[in-house]
């Protein structure tokens, strides 16, 4: 075995260069491990297209998914501090709070996380969100929720932090197959940007290929949910809080940019591109929430693919193949859950005992939990 092959075998391979892959690579490198990130096209990753809401309460998450979101939310400031210290760049973390509007107080009080938010009446809404459409008469303010500028700041900072910690990147590499024998991972087969096929040996890897994860491991119930988004430019301070409305949200950045999203197209598969229907849906959603925002100038439009599972919860930890760990299927909460997920996977991969709060949740996010549920019903 050559020196380069020996190094490759010793390195932990990160299969996917999106937010989750970079976050895990950074945490592993901070533990002193050799890490290599294999990425086909990082620009297509969900981390580059998400709005960056940190909103376990505003999104009305429940049960174990809420618990995981809350754990991760508590970890985010420390996680961001590590990234900023290694990269020298800001991640754009902001504690703006999030307002969820409702058409009635009764509807508000039925919200799954209503007891963790501050109830708002119409006068309160006028104070928090000047210009909100008249149909919204009640609301909840989740001051503990916030946002991070993943698209313009976090991803760039994570890349720089990984480089600073010695992570090796192989860009333009598409992983085609997992090589395993007797249920044990021994490497991957891949294709480089010039179309050449090659094999890369490894003893340990992390599958975090987002919506594409099931292409490498068909047993995984991960499928794409397409989302289209746009951004608007406003005078700075025109929108102070994030608005999380039904079917649409508006996320104000510090410089006056407002990110608007997102359609939820479960039947679209991996069809790329913007569609007239999707853009019309966003425009109608803006008008229903904040009518004056229709006149704010559009800046950019884009789309991406959320990695979804049947219960919209992630797949974390072990896989059907020994040596392969999973960190995929986070649906619309990848940015929120990146801090806890990267800590958990890095602990497991480095042989450390994860913290108790995450250990207790791991059984609920097993990759095979859906087959267990079916078996329990029969």
Q: With 0.75 as the threshold, say if the pTM is over it.
A: yes
Residue 137 has pLDDT above 90, yes or no: yes
What six digits make up the tokens of 19? Answer: 């937010």
pLDDT at position 10 is 78
203 with 319, same domain? yes
202 with 256, same domain? no
Any idea what the CATH number is for the domain that residue 211 is in? 3.50.50.60
262 with 171, same domain? no
Any idea what the CATH number is for the domain that residue 292 is in? 3.30.9.10
Write the CB contacts of 3 (distance below 8 Å, at least 6 apart in sequence). none
Q: Which residues form the domain of 243?
A: 94-149+223-308
Percent of the chain at pLDDT exceeding 70: 94
206 with 230, same domain? no
284 with 352, same domain? no
Q: Which of 281, 308, 335 is the last residue of a domain?
A: 308
78 with 155, same domain? yes
CB 346 within 8 A of CB 27: yes
Structural domain total, the chain: 2
Q: Which of 285, 308, 331 is the last residue of a domain?
A: 308
pLDDT digits (tens, 9 = 90+) for 51-66: 999 999 999 999 999 9
pLDDT digits (tens, 9 = 90+) for 248-307: 999 999 999 999 999 999 999 999 999 999 999 999 999 999 999 999 999 999 999 999
Between 6 and 95, name the one with better pLDDT.
Answer: 95
Number of Cβ within 10 Å of residue 132's Cβ equals 21
Number of Cβ within 10 Å of residue 165's Cβ equals 20
CB 338 within 8 A of CB 23: yes
d(CA 313, CA 190): 29
Averaged pLDDT for residues 208-235: 95
57 with 163, same domain? yes
Question: Helix (H, G, I), strand (E, B), or coil: what is residue 18?
Answer: coil
d(CA 108, CA 87): 42
Q: What residues pair up with 305 in beta bridges, in sequence order?
A: 226
First to last CA, the chain: 51
């Amino acid at each position: 075995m050559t020196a380069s092959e020996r190094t490759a075998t010793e390195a932990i391979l990160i299969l996917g260069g999106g937010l989750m892959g970079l976050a895990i690579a950074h945490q592993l490198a901070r533990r002193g491990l050799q890490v290599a990130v294999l990425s086909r096209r990082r620009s297509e990753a969900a981390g580059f297209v998400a709005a960056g809401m940190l909103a376990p309460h505003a999104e009305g998450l429940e049960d174990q998914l809420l618990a995981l979101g809350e754990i991760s939310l508590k970890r985010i400031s420390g996680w961001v501090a590590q990234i900023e210290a290694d990269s020298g760049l800001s991640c754009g973390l902001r504690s703006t709070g999030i307002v969820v509007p409702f058409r009635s107080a009764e509807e508000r009080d039925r919200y799954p996380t209503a007891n963790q938010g501050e109830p708002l009446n119409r006068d309160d809404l006028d104070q928090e969100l000047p210009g909100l459409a008249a149909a919204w008469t009640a609301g909840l303010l989740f001051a503990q929720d916030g946002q991070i500028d993943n698209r313009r700041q976090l991803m760039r900072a994570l890349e720089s932090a990984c480089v600073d910690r010695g992570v090796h990147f192989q860009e333009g590499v598409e992983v085609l197959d997992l090589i395993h024998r007797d249920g044990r991972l021994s490497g991957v087969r891949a294709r480089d940007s010039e179309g050449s096929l090659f094999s890369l040996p490894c003893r340990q890897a992390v599958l975090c290929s987002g919506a594409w994860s099931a292409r490498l491991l068909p047993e995984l119930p991960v499928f794409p949910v397409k989302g289209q988004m746009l951004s608007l430019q406003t005078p700075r301070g025109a929108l102070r809080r994030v608005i999380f409305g039904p079917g649409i949200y508006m996320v104000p950045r510090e410089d006056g940019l407002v990110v608007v999203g997102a359609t939820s197209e479960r039947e679209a598969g991996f069809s790329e591109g913007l569609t007239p229907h999707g853009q019309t849906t966003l425009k109608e959603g803006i008008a229903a929430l904040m009518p004056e925002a229709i006149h704010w100038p559009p800046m950019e439009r884009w789309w991406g693919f959320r990695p979804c599972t049947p219960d919209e919860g992630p797949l974390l930890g072990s896989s059907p193949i020994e040596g392969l760990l999973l960190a995929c299927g986070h649906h619309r909460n990848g940015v929120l859950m990146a801090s806890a997920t990267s800590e958990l996977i890095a602990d497991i991969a480095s042989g450390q005992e994860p913290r108790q709060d995450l250990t207790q949740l791991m059984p609920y996010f097993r990759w095979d939990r859906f087959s267990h549920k079916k078996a329990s019903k029969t």
